[in-house]
Structure 1
Amino acid sequence: MTTTERQQIVNEFGTEFGKGPKDSGCTAVQVALLTARINGLKGHFESHKHDYHSNRGLLKMIGQRKSLLKYLQNNNEEKYKNLINKLGLRK
């Protein structure tokens, strides 16, 4: 993920869910960044099926995102629902 893509995600989700366009510590922004990194690894795993070390890192990122989403669901359910709809996480 490039720096401009990261800044774009922070601006988009920081203004909608956080305190402003530079609020990179907001839970929603962290979830969006993790989702972008997780989705970015799809192509890597298509060509490198036996990369088990990267797979472990992927599973750690998924666990981190899961815990952040659980925190958001417990504290602000409206933001949680809006975020998962915007990211398309649940079906």
Structure 2
Amino acid sequence: MSESTINLADYKIHDTDTGSADYQVALLTQRIVHLTAHLTQHKKDTSSRRGLLKLVAQRRKLLDYVKANSEERYQKLLAGLSLRK
């Protein structure tokens, strides 16, 4: 998955939405994809690797929150962002 395939507008609940869990998960996924690509070229960049692990943990927490509140939204996020769980 490349950065350009994630359309953040699809995950907004309304036009000015920047804080919903769905949008945040999509935004974090975009950043994770970017950092993963960076780390394939720069294998010894431990600072970025630590940041990547923090982003993955943050996304996991948000996904757990969405799953607890709405299984339907959770499944839509997993399918739309090609995440596995």
Rounded to whole Å, the distance in 1 between the matches of 2:10 and 2:36 is: 23
Q: Whole-Å Cα distance in 2 between the matches of residues 21 and 84 of structure 1?
A: 22
Match of 1:33 among 12, 27, 30: 27
Match of 1:86 in 2: 80
Using the size of structure 2 for normalisation, the TM-score is 0.87
Identical aligned residues as a percent: 44
Residue deviations 1:4-39 (CA, integer Å, cap 9, x gap): x8xx51x2210xxx2x12111110000000000000
Alpha-carbon deviations, 1:45-71, whole Å to 9, x = none?
A: 111101111100000000000000000
* Displacement of 1:43: 2.2
Matching residue within 6, 11, 14 for 1:13: 11
Aligned to 2:53, what secondary structure does the other structure show? Answer: helix
Structure 1: which 4+ aligned runs deviate by more than 4 Å?
none
Q: For structure 2, which runs of at least 5 residues remain unmatched after alignment?
A: none
Of 51, 54, 60, 1:57 maps to 51
CA contact (8 A) 1:13 1:28 kept: yes
Q: Is 1:67 paired with 2:65?
A: no
State the Cα RMSD in Å.
1.5
